[in-house]
Amino acid sequence: MAIRKHFLFPYRADKAAEAVAYLLKKCGGTKEYIWLLKALYFAERESLRKYGRPIIGGQYYSMEFGPVMGSVLTDMKEEANRSEAWNGVIERHLDYELRLVSEYNPD
């Protein structure tokens, strides 16, 4: 019988905001949040494979359209409950897009 190891890496809202801001900048300032979630998932998976640690951390969930990082999804969709690192940098645009409002500054 195979033993599965589970690791829990804490969610880094600052790293999530920085990564989303980077992708939004590369994509012209706006992008569908589903696309962003998928791009972040693949980046996270590659970081775990190559370096043994995530970029963002948090928990992953199996959803209808593929795996997502739960805390990132919350920060993307719920502006009232989002992490402080996202405020003033990223905002919802329409019902399904995010928009880069200003450059991310991790100070």
| Cβ neighbour number for residue 54 with a 10 Å cutoff | 20
For 33-87, strand residue ranges (E) read: 60-63, 66-69
| Cβ neighbour number for residue 106 with a 10 Å cutoff | 9
Q: Are 71 and 13 in contact (CB under 8 A)?
A: yes
* Structure token pair of residue 90: 């990223």
**106 Rama class: left (phi>0) / alpha (psi -120 to 50) / beta:** alpha
Task: Determine the pLDDT at residue 18.
Answer: 93
- pLDDT per residue, tens digit, the chain (107 aa), is 455 555 678 999 999 999 999 999 999 999 999 999 999 999 999 999 999 999 999 988 888 888 888 889 888 888 777 888 888 899 988 888 999 998 877 65
If DSSP codes are grouped into helix, strand and coil, which group holds residue 66? strand
